[in-house]
Structure 1
Amino acid sequence: MTGPAATADLIHRLAADPDASFALIARAGASGAVEDVEVLTGPVLDVELLADIPLHGDDGAAREVLALVPYRQVRERGFEAHDDGAPLRTLLVEAHERLPLHEAMAVLPTDPIPLSAAGFDIPDEQYAQIVRRVISDEIGRGEGANFVIRRDYVAGVDASPRAAALTWFRALLEHERGAYWTFAIVTPGHVAVGASPEAHVTAVAGAAGEPSTVTMNPISGTFRHPAGGATVDTLATFLTDTKETEELFMVVDEELKMMSAVCSDGGRITGPHLKEMSRLTHTEYMLRGTSRLDPRDILRETMFAPTVTGSPMQNACAVIRRHELTPRGYYSGVAALFTPREDGGHDLDAPILIRTAYLVDGRLRVPAGATLVRHSDPQGEVSETHGKAAGVLGAIGAVPRAAAAAAPVSADDPDSPTPPTESRTRAALADDPRIAELLASRNARLAPFWLEPQGTDPGPFAGTGALVIDAEDRFTTMLAHQLRHLGLEVRIAHWSEATDAEVDAARLVVTGPGPGDPRDAASPRISRMREIVGRRLATAAPLLAVCLSHQILSDRLGIGLAPLASPHQGLQKTVDVFGEPASIGFYNTFTARVLPGVARLTPSETRVGAVGTVEIAADPSTGDVYALRGRGFASVQGHLESILSRDGMHTLERLVDHALA
């Protein structure tokens, strides 16, 4: 049986069967519009690790699996998290049907689901205080560039969980737009219904024998549609806002770290684009690369999106644990659909679990977080959580629904047949000449290395071995990728695992960036990085030190360290690097500092006489040290691997060449 009657029968059975586990998923087709609703049914199995997700049956045949991956799963990467016991839940798909969208909409329930005692669990002013503490105590102490701290909208629900799931799913389809996935997932004791705008990671097979194409979709920067609809002027103001622009660049950098870890070609950036939803418009980029990894390994190496955690990732998880009052459950995790391929492998499609309502034991929970950066305004971040939650809450009737979202209309076109209060297509937003120009202009600031196809010619240092020391900032994966393009044979070692013998044997050691105060002698990580830098200096063995390690090197040489008056997190500056101007991205809270005008230190002025004369590239007015070089070493305060470093590759080659010489 097919047609409307079959669709109605299936929906009614899902609503009536108390033991059925199922997922409803609406994904945009090639046209950009949702054409059907996918219905996945089957038994549920909870597993401990991503590697345990059963992609093959007992007979060895590949099978389809939908996994709900909770935030606590970051422990697989050794990161901190409140452990709430949320299971890594898999739906083992036995049936996968497609229902025409109009047929599903006709039979999904529409009766409102009443809520009680509704409101945010953390009051606005208390959340604003948390924002202030994170900016001062975390970003202000060098713990990272940005952090996402959430709060939850909560309410009581006196209705059947299945009825609520089906009702809210239909409401999101009707009232929200621009979602990557609109979904309802119903499993024993748990309901998740959402409209996620963001694909975290996908992996799609190429031709036979070819690697999979991996895509990530960092979305950041939030434009809250004003009352009465947006205009080109209001959207343009958003697109030129420094905080919103840098916020997007920072998350692109963070996701490129992940891409560089899972893709042999590191990843290439396209965009930026607009992502328009009912109440919000975001900016986004697309990152693409190729990989031969198992999709479960790709998922593990990309847990989780910096747009919902922060950067650097490991420290962001520690900050979240310090400042969030309750565990996250599935918020900021992913729903991962593993689809079998003819070759026995699987494609992966994994949206982020945001803009999602959870229903457990009669309680509704809608988490929403704001990205906190050095420019953040506490009240603005409070408003951002309201705006992000409102898309879901408005659709399900918890707050007033937005009017038909009004897209910008050019003020320069008074004869436009579309009044400003009426909706226009998403294409019209980006195609307005002024908006298109503002979007395109962002790429003029970025590194060509990550925007253009990367060459395959042997680099100038072909065959030279390099050991990169990871100080808990995975910028090292991007740095290693760039070093490989310069011809070096690179291995990355965690600071706690790199032995003295390995450090001594390496032709070139690159000590990487990391969070924290370089003066913190009580930190085992800082102490070990000081030991590694000291070993290389003592023998003039080739060393390149980056960011935190540049500060440690400076201190070893006798150059003083100090906190910056305002952190340089995601800041692009053009500085002089030994006679050449270089546009470089900076992520630092501390700096090495000399007296303005000092350009070198003699052996008698350093604590390590063996290094000879030390050349210094410093700010002429402040004395902030941007780069150092001496016998067998070079260093840089900025991140030459960042997308913000337009001159990164050239400067990296210069510094490596000096260290090796």
Structure 2
Amino acid sequence: MCSRPSTLTALEAVFSFPDERSPPDLKKGPAMTPSPSPLESALRAGRPFALIARDAESVELLTGDVVDVDLLADIPLHDAAGTPREVLALVPYRQVVERGFECHDDAAPLRCLLVDTHQRLPRQAVLAELPTEPVALADAGFDVSDTDYADIVRTVIADEIGRGEGANFVIRRDFTAAVDVDPLTAGLTWFRALLEHERGAYWTFLVSTPGHLTVGASPEAHVSASGGIVTMNPISGTFRHPAGGATAATLTEFLSSTKETEELFMVVDEELKMMSAVCSDGGRITGPHLKEMSRLTHTEYMLRGRSAMDPREILRETMFAPTVTGSPMQNACTVIKRHERAPRGYYSGVAALFTPTADEAADGTGHDLDAPILIRTAYLVDGRLRVPVGATLVRHSDPDGEVGETHGKAAGVLGAIGAIPRDEVAERAALDEDAPVGERRALADDPDIAALLAARNDRLAPFWLNPQDTPDAIPVRRATGAGRTAVVVDAEDRFTTMLAHQLRHLGFDVTITPWNDADPSALERADVVVAGPGPGDPRDEASPRIARMRAVVAARLASGRPLLAVCLSHQILADTLGIALAPLGSPHQGLQKTVEVFGRPASIGFYNTFTARVAPGTLRLGATEISADPASGDVYALRGPGYASVQGHLESILSRDGLETLDRLLTHALAPVLQEKP
């Protein structure tokens, strides 16, 4: 249901102004102007508003009315007369229900500020007006103890990653405290503190609407769209600064960590899945870069691609960032529900600003989109502060280290707002004495640090690093798929979108179909069926999804028509052929290996917890050729009359030889079709 709480009375009830028409006291300079400033005018008007800092010089002030809508598609980008308008939407985590994903549903509203005024104010002028008196906190601490959180980490590694449910998961805990101060006064105070003390933020913001106040400094742009270009900004890997701040020496150890490097690669893979779903060119990655903040430094990539989609649909298809959920996305949401004790509210959602462009189209695609992730953010409701934080759990996570990561992330906000002591030595060290006032010294400029960052790309697939219409990006492009159709069956892992993108580059006309909606007649007509990857135990006969994928593989195998099976489906094919399945001693989630695939070495990325396994040295089983590890017997690939399969993800950024290997396996599987259609 939509509501329009825009009256002063409604705001007074929320903000408890000291008198009938007075906003919270603002710090004034020595000279008072005869007329109120834009910020003071907005506060006195008693309307919903937002303050957003997106550059070093200004603060944007947005005011308007509020409506709550049910779906992203309902975000009202036009007024009743069809005139385009600007909208700032707060999108809660529960919105994942739009995609059929699970969550603790707290009914947090998809709140839209319908912007009627948008002013750009000088940052220093805004700072001069904001309150400075520290806001006292009481009854402060995490809702989940350090010991309990470490136990959750161990459980997720053993029971979720260890059983094939996914590669990584983000489990949150909340720092909470009581606040006995007018909410808007507290929010304005914290907004000022974040502007002054938290550096490196993508957005520093305050959003005040009836019953809800949000203030934060998000480091991460989830998705933006402008001029037909979509950009995503996966950030992962967290270096907690030692006392006194980060140095090139202390940062070198972090950048050399396998765990931190692979964590970033996994989230890039996950966001490329989203890019491949919304961008016609699949997306290209650039970086890595450093994101330096007051207490933390992260590593990040930028992903860019072209799209003509409505920005609301782009936002829907990218709900939500794997850096705050996990991968694969759908199962990550299920795992979060199992292990988090309470709903997320707006944590890990986005603040999405839709701004009309000069060439606004009637269907709304003429809006630009700028949407940071709602992390490093404080919420104040009913006198209670909440700062949610999470750690990314992977196969080699250290429980105590992940506990420390949540403390570090909370400290970035809490230190800035004065809830815990700030590292003043580090703040001073971050200023270059020889540079103009306020300019920060960037560790990324250190040549050794820059070399360590650049070296990461030596491991990655050229296909995703280079423009995809160049020979360097596509070392092999044959006419294998020319004039032929491929149906990719998605088993709840959107690696299928990346795989479909590569298939299109090989000439195929590709359709992706969910496992529970696969039309048998469409599968039968396809020149090749690609049975895709997915989470879970391939031996789990009680799972409807596993049972359906088994039926797809068995039917296609029996037909003799071309079949390519990937990861989970490779395991199902192996089992169908009589090859035993077993759990790995240590999950291969996000692992890069160079393995032999039918006589050629190939650098491939693996995301598996289970494996097909033969006796070491076995090269054939009946009509099936086997490519396996010579010591363990773990099967990397299979091929036989009309079929082929691979355990690794040839579409992953970790698969340097992915496209060439994909082409080889398809050429083999398609032999019957190639004979029919020369």
Aligned-partner SS, 2:570: helix
- Using the TM superposition, give the Cα deviation of residue 580 of structure 1 relative to its aligned residue in structure 2, in angstroms: 0.2
Whether the 8 Å contact between 2:165 and 2:535 is mirrored in structure 1 is yes
Match of residue 448 from structure 2: 434
Match of residue 646 from structure 1: 656
Q: Distance in 1 between matches of 2:442 and 2:394?
A: 31
Q: Distance in 2 between matches of 1:625 and 1:650?
A: 19
Match of residue 27 from structure 1: 54
Q: Distance in 2 between matches of 1:252 and 1:258?
A: 10
Q: Distance in 1 between matches of 2:42 and 2:299?
A: 37
Whether the 8 Å contact between 1:407 and 1:429 is mirrored in structure 2 is no
- Using the TM superposition, give the Cα deviation of residue 199 of structure 1 relative to its aligned residue in structure 2, in angstroms: 0.2
Q: Distance in 1 between matches of 2:617 and 2:595?
A: 14
Q: Establish whether residue 111 from structure 1 lines up as the match of residue 127 from structure 2.
A: no
Equivalent of residue 466 in structure 1, options 472, 486, 500: 486
Q: Distance in 2 between matches of 1:200 and 1:454?
A: 23
Q: Distance in 1 between matches of 2:359 and 2:574?
A: 54
Match of residue 183 from structure 1: 205
- Using the TM superposition, give the Cα deviation of residue 160 of structure 1 relative to its aligned residue in structure 2, in angstroms: 1.1
- Using the TM superposition, give the Cα deviation of residue 227 of structure 1 relative to its aligned residue in structure 2, in angstroms: 1.2
Q: Which amino acid aligns with 2:525?
A: A
Q: Which amino acid aligns with 1:12?
A: E
Whether the 8 Å contact between 2:42 and 2:63 is mirrored in structure 1 is no
Match of residue 356 from structure 2: 340
Distance 1:621 1:425, change over 3 A: farther
Q: Distance in 2 between matches of 1:553 and 1:645?
A: 22
Match of residue 637 from structure 2: 627
- Using the TM superposition, give the Cα deviation of residue 352 of structure 1 relative to its aligned residue in structure 2, in angstroms: 0.2
Aligned residue-pair number = 627
Equivalent of residue 593 in structure 1, options 613, 620, 641: 613
Distance 1:594 1:23, change over 3 A: same
Whether the 8 Å contact between 2:39 and 2:61 is mirrored in structure 1 is no
Aligned-partner SS, 2:37: helix
Q: Which amino acid aligns with 2:385?
A: L
Whether the 8 Å contact between 2:290 and 2:299 is mirrored in structure 1 is yes
Whether the 8 Å contact between 1:269 and 1:450 is mirrored in structure 2 is yes
Q: Establish whether residue 56 from structure 1 lines up as the match of residue 78 from structure 2.
A: yes
TM-score, L = length of structure 1? 0.93
Q: Distance in 2 between matches of 1:257 and 1:493?
A: 15
Whether the 8 Å contact between 1:601 and 1:615 is mirrored in structure 2 is yes
Distance 1:229 1:424, change over 3 A: farther
Match of residue 97 from structure 2: 75
Whether the 8 Å contact between 2:243 and 2:426 is mirrored in structure 1 is no
Matches within 5 A, 1:274-285: 274-285=290-301
Tell me the alpha carbon deviations over residues 179-205 of structure 1, each in whole angstroms, 9 at most, x when there is no partner. 000000000010000000000000001
Q: Distance in 2 between matches of 1:418 and 1:332?
A: 37
Match of residue 196 from structure 1: 218
Tell me the alpha carbon deviations over residues 433-459 of structure 1, each in whole angstroms, 9 at most, x when there is no partner. 111110000000000000001128985
Q: Which amino acid aligns with 1:300?
A: R
- Using the TM superposition, give the Cα deviation of residue 361 of structure 1 relative to its aligned residue in structure 2, in angstroms: 0.7
Q: Distance in 1 between matches of 2:438 and 2:262?
A: 28
Whether the 8 Å contact between 1:577 and 1:617 is mirrored in structure 2 is yes
Q: Which amino acid aligns with 1:518?
A: P
Equivalent of residue 232 in structure 1, options 248, 262, 265: 248
Equivalent of residue 574 in structure 2, options 546, 554, 577: 554
Q: Distance in 2 between matches of 1:357 and 1:81?
A: 21
Match of residue 271 from structure 1: 287
Distance 1:130 1:495, change over 3 A: same
Q: Which amino acid aligns with 1:584?
A: I
- Using the TM superposition, give the Cα deviation of residue 494 of structure 1 relative to its aligned residue in structure 2, in angstroms: 0.1
Q: Establish whether residue 357 from structure 1 lines up as the match of residue 367 from structure 2.
A: no
Q: Which amino acid aligns with 2:631?
A: S
Whether the 8 Å contact between 2:287 and 2:300 is mirrored in structure 1 is yes
- Using the TM superposition, give the Cα deviation of residue 408 of structure 1 relative to its aligned residue in structure 2, in angstroms: 9.3
Q: Distance in 2 between matches of 1:657 and 1:259?
A: 27
Q: Distance in 2 between matches of 1:425 and 1:378?
A: 37
Distance 1:51 1:5, change over 3 A: farther
Equivalent of residue 40 in structure 2, options 6, 12, 16: 12
Q: Establish whether residue 301 from structure 1 lines up as the match of residue 317 from structure 2.
A: yes
Q: Distance in 1 between matches of 2:545 and 2:154?
A: 27
Equivalent of residue 576 in structure 1, options 581, 596, 603: 596
Equivalent of residue 256 in structure 1, options 272, 279, 282: 272
Equivalent of residue 528 in structure 2, options 488, 491, 508: 508
Segments of structure 1 that go 5 or more residues without pairing to the other structure are 29-33, 206-211, 410-416, 603-612
Q: Distance in 2 between matches of 1:424 and 1:568?
A: 45
Q: Distance in 1 between matches of 2:441 and 2:276?
A: 31
Q: Which amino acid aligns with 2:559?
A: T
Match of residue 23 from structure 2: none
Q: Distance in 2 between matches of 1:547 and 1:398?
A: 48
Distance 1:77 1:4, change over 3 A: farther
Segments of structure 2 that go 5 or more residues without pairing to the other structure are 1-30, 361-365, 472-476, 672-678
Q: Distance in 2 between matches of 1:101 and 1:459?
A: 56
- Using the TM superposition, give the Cα deviation of residue 65 of structure 1 relative to its aligned residue in structure 2, in angstroms: 0.2
Match of residue 173 from structure 1: 195
Whether the 8 Å contact between 1:306 and 1:313 is mirrored in structure 2 is yes
Q: Distance in 2 between matches of 1:428 and 1:392?
A: 21
Equivalent of residue 377 in structure 1, options 398, 422, 434: 398
- Using the TM superposition, give the Cα deviation of residue 501 of structure 1 relative to its aligned residue in structure 2, in angstroms: 1.4
Whether the 8 Å contact between 1:230 and 1:406 is mirrored in structure 2 is no
Distance 1:407 1:451, change over 3 A: farther
Aligned-partner SS, 1:573: strand
* Runs of 4+ with >3 A deviation: 3-8, 13-17, 406-409, 423-428, 456-459
Tell me the alpha carbon deviations over residues 208-249 of structure 1, each in whole angstroms, 9 at most, x when there is no partner. xxxx10000000000000113322221010001011000000
Whether the 8 Å contact between 1:561 and 1:592 is mirrored in structure 2 is yes
Equivalent of residue 477 in structure 1, options 492, 497, 513: 497
Q: Distance in 1 between matches of 2:441 and 2:308?
A: 35
Distance 1:8 1:375, change over 3 A: farther
Equivalent of residue 290 in structure 1, options 306, 309, 317: 306
Q: Distance in 1 between matches of 2:651 and 2:433?
A: 45
Match of residue 335 from structure 2: 319
Distance 1:112 1:325, change over 3 A: same
Q: Establish whether residue 539 from structure 1 lines up as the match of residue 559 from structure 2.
A: yes
Aligned-partner SS, 1:238: helix
Whether the 8 Å contact between 2:202 and 2:219 is mirrored in structure 1 is yes
Q: Distance in 2 between matches of 1:477 and 1:563?
A: 27
Tell me the alpha carbon deviations over residues 298-355 of structure 1, each in whole angstroms, 9 at most, x when there is no partner. 0000000000000000000000000000000000000000000122220000000000
Q: Distance in 1 between matches of 2:346 and 2:136?
A: 24
Q: Distance in 2 between matches of 1:424 and 1:110?
A: 20
Q: Which amino acid aligns with 2:323?
A: T
Equivalent of residue 452 in structure 1, options 466, 487, 492: 466
TM-score, L = length of structure 2? 0.90
Distance 1:619 1:7, change over 3 A: farther
Q: Distance in 2 between matches of 1:509 and 1:426?
A: 54
